[in-house]
Amino acid sequence: MRKIIASLDIGSSTIKLIVGEFIKNSFNVLCISEVPSRGIKKGLVSNRDDLIVVLKECFHKSEEMLGIKINEVVLAIPAYCTEVEMSEGSTTITNEDHLVTHQDLIRAMQAASYNKVNSDMELISIIPTRYKIDNEQIVKNPLNMAANKLSLKAVVITVPKVNVDPFINALDKIGVNVLDIVTTSLGDYEVHKSKNTISSLGAVINIGEETTTVSIFNKGVLMKSEVIELGGVNIDNDIAYIYKITKKDAKEIKEKLGLAVPDMAEASEKISLTDRLGENVVINQKDLCEIIESRLTEILELSKKQMNLLTKRDIEYIIVTGGTTEMGDFNILLDKVFTKSHILGKIEIVGVRNNKYSTVVGITKYYNERLRLKNKEYSVFNEEQLEILSGDHKKVNINENSILGKLFGYFFDN
């Protein structure tokens, strides 16, 4: 079976839907659609009817590209009020050979979450951190090991249902089932992780349109997460306020001339436009970038403070991602603000080489890892749909009197 997964990231600025296929260790993008958000405020649903309209548009775009309806998605939800708790669970190995199977792993994880989730919370993920065989031997991977009992320690991640249900209800209205829910932080980590990050303590910062999310990971496991209500839109607001121009104009100017620092900016680079009072205003790149640097520095400094509040231990790495980090010279600003080892996120996958796709690509990869843990095969499309996707059902019908038909006749007749 082909392993094809559809994932959805409903952001405050845009909604992104990706359909990708995993072939061995490679991830290939089949299609991605992106539409401006409506009905979303700071990552949460503010108007369900508006959201439904743009969700329909987003899915329609992808379905037109693929020629198939998408009925299931993995959904990214914001990290607001994420609760992370350590837990333990165990199960008895009952098969004849007394060898640990994937089903035993699942039962042990289910035991770890038993009575750990309040009625007003939604279980997002259970991440095993340690396995023990027969209450004695600690092992990295217990699969196929002989045992009478399997125990594990795990991180149980939950979020308030009030944050999740509006998304699920909106998707249900357009006939799309939510296959799984993944917090945005897990996606951001998954797409940027490396051999160094899975063995140490670090932080992941995602600077989005309206919010910035700071998350702490220990050996690849999410420990804590917090949201700062500042993002790229605050830069637009600053520019609009200072120059008395519309927010739309401010955003366009930021995208045309903006750099994260004024170091390489040129005062001779200018844009002239009319402000809200009808007067002509000239904005040069140097002054513009000083405004941008001031706000971005504030966001990064607040992120540093939040990291210190989330953990008192020494952080060994910092990954910074999100659409706002695509601004020119952002790496120079990171060097100014952070003294610790830091990494500017970089996605190398063809079709999504932009940090604004960090979450949607990451949750797709995260869900694929969960499938591997459970030893399950999955595709968002059934066999009939896969035939359509492969084009096996299609036959080219060429009129013999057309130019193309005459060319075919010439080649085959001679």
Q: What is the pTM of this model?
A: 0.88
Q: Is 395 inside a domain boundary?
A: yes
Residue 401: pLDDT band with limits 50, 70, 90:
low
240-265, pLDDT tens digit by residue?
A: 999 999 999 999 999 999 999 999 99
Do the domain assignments include residue 65?
no
**pLDDT score of 87:** 93
Quick one: pLDDT at residue 374?
Answer: 81
Q: What is the mean pLDDT of residues 194-220?
A: 94
In a domain, 140, yes or no: yes
- The answer to whether residues 321 and 206 touch, using CB atoms and an 8 Å cutoff, is yes
In which band, very low, low, confident or very high, does the pLDDT at 25 lie, cut at 50, 70 and 90? confident
pLDDT at 412 over 70: no
Q: Residues 301-325: pLDDT tens digits?
A: 999 999 999 999 999 999 999 999 9
Q: What are phi and psi of 120, to 5 degrees?
A: -95, 5
Q: Is the predicted pLDDT of residue 96 greater than 70, yes or no?
A: yes
The helix (H) or strand (E) run that includes residue 213 is strand 212-218
Band (pLDDT 50/70/90 cuts) for residue 392 is: low
* Residue 142 clears pLDDT 90, i.e. is over it: yes
175-184 pLDDT, tens digit each: 999 999 999 9
For residue 398, what pLDDT band results from cuts at 50, 70 and 90?
A: very low
Q: Inform me whether the pLDDT recorded for 329 exceeds 60.
A: yes
The predicted-structure confidence for 159-169, as pLDDT tens digits, reads as follows 999 999 999 99
Beta bridge partners of 284: 270
Of residues 280 and 25, more confidence is placed in 280
- The total number of structural domains in the chain stands at 3
**Among candidate residues 102, 133, 162, the one where a domain is terminated:** 162
- According to DSSP, the residues that pair with 7 across neighbouring strands are 18, 74
Q: What is the mean pLDDT of the chain?
A: 91
Q: Of 137, 162, 187, which marks where a domain is finished? A: 162
Tell me the C-alpha distance between 49 and 108, whole Å.
41
Instruction: Label residue 383 by pLDDT band (50, 70, 90).
Output: confident
Summarize the confidence of residues 119-123 as an average pLDDT. Answer: 90
Domain region containing 254 = 232-295
Sign of the CA dihedral running 220, 222, 224, 227: positive
Residues 6+ apart with CB under 8 A from 188: 204, 206, 213, 215, 319, 321, 322, 345, 358, 359, 362
Mean pLDDT confidence for 375-392: 84
CATH of the domain at 276: 3.30.420.40
92: CATH: 3.30.1490.110
% of the chain exceeding 70 in pLDDT: 94
Would you say 89 and 376 are in contact if contact means Cβ atoms under 8 Å apart? Answer: no
The band of 140, judged by pLDDT with boundaries at 50, 70 and 90, is: confident
